[in-house]
């Protein structure tokens, strides 16, 4: 819901107001003079006006309610929460000149989430098609089409749709025959699913540190940690920044290792035009609700080798031998994607180019309003000829000593801005202790200073400007964030 869908100029007709109310589904519109708040008009106000003889073509100015509730946009989130009620389900938020700059609603509670999907295309139509035609399980045209889309977009030879990005990793490992006694080199900064998949396959993760510049797995530490038991390297293109794949492939070739690329966050990332996931033996993707595009839950694998693809396909489908129903030559899993999920994914693929352009814009707006105007932050470095997926705008605090990242996250939350810390280092967590590590402090530094900011594709330049200004204001003035007096600006 955009602010424009809620604001009507006082000289518009009652009919216009009704159309707007019908579209915004909030039962109310804010009446403005330009942008300045004058009052509100609800569907009830319109009903009463028409019963008392007003024409539908009369001006909103004749009937609007001047005694409306509104709040200054700077009030703490607790005040907004306390004001919203059954009676006041939606409240305009104004600046000091009474210009409407935002709104609070019971549903939204003024929070700007870090990442939300945008289901503005053919999602509903395709899902409805599944229901109407009774194709709701894992067979159906959308699954096939989705695999084709993955293949086409990444320019890979083979693609397989699966239930999520975690099982994609597990399936990649087991179809390459990686298991007990094998070591898989993984980065210390990733989402836990990367390591969970290795452990689930029965192998041992070897956790190595990352590079300061890219936050991706350290090439030196991969080299240093290869043993006779090493079977694979699992680079993760963190936040969509590609790992140095040419170098990793050289190492893999030299030591005869498999490479599984975790591209969960990297749909659209490439090196010299070659999509990530196509360098290694297998590339895996996630289509969870917060990813570049989504199926709700979903995943995919891409392969170079037909035999590995065929093996993974059998294992995805319970291990049943193709052409011989209920016959198992190998142990397998049910890792299939449903037609319903694939239908959403196909509709999302149609919008992927548009989303990508928008994400890139959001990154450049943050760079403009936040990075270029202050010296508080560092960002990941994208090498020349490398392209990012622009998944989630994430920066690190330059100065860990004076600025408390968690204090900033708390402060932003009070202002209705959702933000996230970077992943904890894998080596720090109880679930992953006891495995071999090679650390040098980089992941710890990145993890304790990193913050991800709202990057949903529906955000506008003014949203990013507002978020950036709130961050800068908070960094300049809020005591809870500063350990020492600010001298960074």
Ligand X SMILES: Cc1ncc(COP(=O)(O)O)c(C=O)c1O
Question: Contacting ligand X (CB under 6 A), which of 194, 244, 443, 456?
Answer: 194
463: left (phi over 0), alpha (psi -120 to 50) or beta: alpha
CA distance 382 to 369: 19
Judged by beta carbon, residue 112 or residue 286, the one nearer ligand X is 286
Say how far residue 445 (Cα) sits from the centre of its chain.
23
Q: What is the DSSP string of 185-238?
A: EEESSS-THHHHHHHHTT-EEEEE-B-TTTSSBPHHHHHHT--TTEEEE--B-G
Pairing, β 299-303 against β 28-33: unpaired
Q: Considering the complex, what minimum distance in angstroms separates the CB of residue 284 from ligand X?
A: 7
Q: In the complex, which residue's CB is closest to ligand X?
A: 165
- Which stretches of 309-416 are assigned E, i.e. beta strand? 377-379, 386-387, 394-397
- Which stretches of 17-68 are assigned E, i.e. beta strand? 28-33, 36-42
CA distance 345 to 143: 9
Q: Considering the complex, what minimum distance in angstroms separates the CB of residue 243 from ligand X?
A: 12
Contact 181/229 with Cβ under 8 angstroms?
yes
Question: Contacting ligand X (CB under 6 A), which of 123, 182, 211, 265?
Answer: 265
> Which tokens go with 330?
């190998």
- The binding track of 114-153 with respect to ligand X, each residue x by CB under 6 A or -, is ----------------------------------------
Pairing, β 158-162 against β 394-397: unpaired
If you search the block for the tokens 């969960």, which residue do you land on? Answer: 264
Judged by beta carbon, residue 71 or residue 342, the one nearer ligand X is 342
Q: Is position 104 an interface residue for ligand X (rule: CB under 6 A)?
A: no
Judged by beta carbon, residue 26 or residue 170, the one nearer ligand X is 170
Question: Contacting ligand X (CB under 6 A), which of 165, 242, 280, 425?
Answer: 165
Q: Is position 341 an interface residue for ligand X (rule: CB under 6 A)?
A: no
Site for ligand X in 299-338 (CB under 6 A): 299
Measured CA to CA in angstroms, residue 61 lies from 43, 98, 202 at distances of: 15, 18, 70
Judged by beta carbon, residue 121 or residue 192, the one nearer ligand X is 192
Q: Considering the complex, what minimum distance in angstroms separates the CB of residue 334 from ligand X?
A: 15
CA distance 156 to 140: 22
Question: Contacting ligand X (CB under 6 A), which of 164, 204, 341, 447?
Answer: 164
Say how far residue 316 (Cα) sits from the centre of its chain.
26
Judged by beta carbon, residue 92 or residue 345, the one nearer ligand X is 345
390: nearest Cα among 190, 92, 115: 115
> Which tokens go with 422?
């970077």
Contact 446/189 with Cβ under 8 angstroms?
yes
User: Cβ of 56: how many Cβ atoms within 10 Å?
Assistant: 13
Measured CA to CA in angstroms, residue 370 lies from 215, 284, 365, 416 at distances of: 20, 32, 8, 18
Site for ligand X in 423-482 (CB under 6 A): none
What is the helix (H) or strand (E) element at residue 253, kind and residue range? helix 245-255
Judged by beta carbon, residue 90 or residue 150, the one nearer ligand X is 150
Q: Is position 262 an interface residue for ligand X (rule: CB under 6 A)?
A: yes
Q: Considering the complex, what minimum distance in angstroms separates the CB of residue 394 from ligand X?
A: 12
| Range in contact with ligand X (rule: CB under 6 A) among 29-37, 72-80, 161-169, 305-313 | 161-169
Judged by beta carbon, residue 60 or residue 236, the one nearer ligand X is 236
- Which stretches of 366-453 are assigned E, i.e. beta strand? 377-379, 386-387, 394-397, 420-421, 437-438, 450-452
Judged by beta carbon, residue 198 or residue 347, the one nearer ligand X is 198
The count of residues interacting with ligand X (CB under 6 A) is 14
Q: Considering the complex, what minimum distance in angstroms separates the CB of residue 287 from ligand X?
A: 7
Q: Is position 288 an interface residue for ligand X (rule: CB under 6 A)?
A: yes
Q: Is position 49 an interface residue for ligand X (rule: CB under 6 A)?
A: no
Judged by beta carbon, residue 10 or residue 191, the one nearer ligand X is 191
| Range in contact with ligand X (rule: CB under 6 A) among 40-48, 147-155, 257-265, 359-367 | 257-265
Question: Contacting ligand X (CB under 6 A), which of 145, 166, 341, 389?
Answer: 166
Question: Contacting ligand X (CB under 6 A), which of 68, 161, 236, 467?
Answer: 236
CA distance 70 to 93: 6
Question: Contacting ligand X (CB under 6 A), which of 112, 190, 218, 452?
Answer: 190
Judged by beta carbon, residue 179 or residue 296, the one nearer ligand X is 296
Kindly list the residues in this chain that would bind ligand X in the complex (CB under 6 A). Answer: 164-166, 190-191, 193-194, 236, 262, 264-265, 286, 288, 299
């Amino acid at each position: 819901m955009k602010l424009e869908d809620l604001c009507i100029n006082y000289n518009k007709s009652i009919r216009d107001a009704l159309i707007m109310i019908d579209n915004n589904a909030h039962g109310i519109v804010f009446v403005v003079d330009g942008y300045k708040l004058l009052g509100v008009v609800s569907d009830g106000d319109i009903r009463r006006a028409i019963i008392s003889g007003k024409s539908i073509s009369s001006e909103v100015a004749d009937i609007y309610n001047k005694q409306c509730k509104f709040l200054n946009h700077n009030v703490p989130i607790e005040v907004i929460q306390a004001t919203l009620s059954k009676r006041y389900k939606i409240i305009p938020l104004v600046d000091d000149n009474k210009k409407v700059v935002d709104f609070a609603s019971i549903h939204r509670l003024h929070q700007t989430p870090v990442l939300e999907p945008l289901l503005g295309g053919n999602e509903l139509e395709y899902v409805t098609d599944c229901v109407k035609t009774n194709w709701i399980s894992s067979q159906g045209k959308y699954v096939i089409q989705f695999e084709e889309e993955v293949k086409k977009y990444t320019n890979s030879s083979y693609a397989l749709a699966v239930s999520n990005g975690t099982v994609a990793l597990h399936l990649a490992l087991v179809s390459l025959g990686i298991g007990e006694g094998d070591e898989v080199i993984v980065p210390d900064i990733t989402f836990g699913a990367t390591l969970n998949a290795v452990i689930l396959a029965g192998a041992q993760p070897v956790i190595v540190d990352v590079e300061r510049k890219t936050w991706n797995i350290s090439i030196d530490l991969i080299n240093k940690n290869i043993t006779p038991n090493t079977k694979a390297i699992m680079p993760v293109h963190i936040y969509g920044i590609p790992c140095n794949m040419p170098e990793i492939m050289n190492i893999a070739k030299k030591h005869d290792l498999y490479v599984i690329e975790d591209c969960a966050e990297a749909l659209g990332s490439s090196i010299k035009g070659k999509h990530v996931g196509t360098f290694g033996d297998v590339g895996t993707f996630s289509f969870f609700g917060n990813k570049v595009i989504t199926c709700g839950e979903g995943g995919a694998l891409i392969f170079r080798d037909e035999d590995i693809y065929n093996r993974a396909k059998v294992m995805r489908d319970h291990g049943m031998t193709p052409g011989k129903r209920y016959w198992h030559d190998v142990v397998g899993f049910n890792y299939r994607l449903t037609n319903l999920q694939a239908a959403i994914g196909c509709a999302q693929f149609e919008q992927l180019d548009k989303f990508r352009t928008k994400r890139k814009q959001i990154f450049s707006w943050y760079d403009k309003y936040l990075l270029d105007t202050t010296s508080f932050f560092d960002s990941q470095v994208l090498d020349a000829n490398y392209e990012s997926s622009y998944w989630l705008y994430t920066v690190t605090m330059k100065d860990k000593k004076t600025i408390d990242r968690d204090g900033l996250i708390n402060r932003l939350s009070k202002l209705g801005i959702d933000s996230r810390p970077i992943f904890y280092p894998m080596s720090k967590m109880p679930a992953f202790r006891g495995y071999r590590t090679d650390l040098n402090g980089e992941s710890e530094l990145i993890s304790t200073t990193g913050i991800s900011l709202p990057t949903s594709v529906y955000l506008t330049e003014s949203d990013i400007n507002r978020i950036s200004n709130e961050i800068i204001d908070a960094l300049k003035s809020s005591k809870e964030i500063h350990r020492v007096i600010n001298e960074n600006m």
